[in-house]
Amino acid sequence: MFSVGDTVVCSNGVCRIEKIGPLAGMGKSVSGRSYYTLRPCFDNAAKIYVPVDGDDNALRFALGRDEVKKLMSEIKDLDQINISDEKKRELEYKNAVNSKDPRKLIRIIKTMYYRRKSRIESGKKSTAIDERYFRIAENRLYEEFALAMGIDREEVKDCIRNNIEKK
């Protein structure tokens, strides 16, 4: 399905596939099994190993420039996550980040944009859960968009915010 050199998204972010094959020096427990050796695009020191025959949803191809542009134009139409129950909202956030679906990450970011604004106007701070999942969503989405568009993460952040604010 994937080849060496492909850019993919996994639970750790955007990576390039460096190698496909057995893990050398790992003992008998992994012999005969092939792995994707991934190098995170924004952390050259790390390596990630994902079984080739593992979960079909563990990896997906990273978005290209045209796909990112299309998603940017859809931001204003994506719904916020309107769940008042803290536990249910956290579960929705968790499912969204685990899905690796960029639309779901945008929904978290859009939700937090308006929740923060509302809470600040009420003299409150954001909840720890909101902030945690907001950072995860930002990191994953901005890395992928920055790579696809050839811009830095701050520029992606500005583009996302501008599209959220469009009416």
Domain parsing of the chain, residue ranges: 7-60, 63-165
The predicted pLDDT at position 25 comes to: 64
Residue 140: pLDDT over 70? yes
The predicted pLDDT at position 11 comes to: 85
Tell me the three state secondary structure of residue 20.
strand
Residue 152: pLDDT over 90? yes
CA 81 to chain centre: 17
The predicted pLDDT at position 23 comes to: 83
CATH code of 63-165, in short, is 1.20.58.1290
CATH 1.10.287 fits 7-60, yes or no: no
Rounded CA separation 20/23 (Å):
9
The predicted pLDDT at position 102 comes to: 95
Could you give the strand order of the β-sheet that contains 7-10, starting from the edge strand earlier in sequence? 48-51, 35-40, 13-21, 7-10, 60-61
- CA-wise closest residue to 18 among 49, 61, 54, 56: 49
- Percent of the chain at pLDDT > 90 equals 77
The predicted pLDDT at position 160 comes to: 94
- Summarised one tens digit per residue, pLDDT across range 38-81 is 999 988 889 999 999 887 788 999 999 999 999 999 999 999 99
Kindly list the distances between the CA atom of residue 9 and the CA atoms of 36, 55, 64, in Å, as whole numbers in the listed order: 12, 13, 12
Banded model confidence at residue 130, pLDDT cuts 50, 70, 90? very high
Angle, alpha carbons 17-147-135 (nearest 5°):
100
The predicted pLDDT at position 99 comes to: 87
Amino acid at 6: D
- Which residues have a Cβ under 8 Å from the Cβ of 44 and sit 6 or more positions away? none
- Summarised one tens digit per residue, pLDDT across range 101-120 is 999 999 999 999 999 999 99
Q: Do the beta carbons of residue 5 and residue 17 sit within 8 Å? A: yes
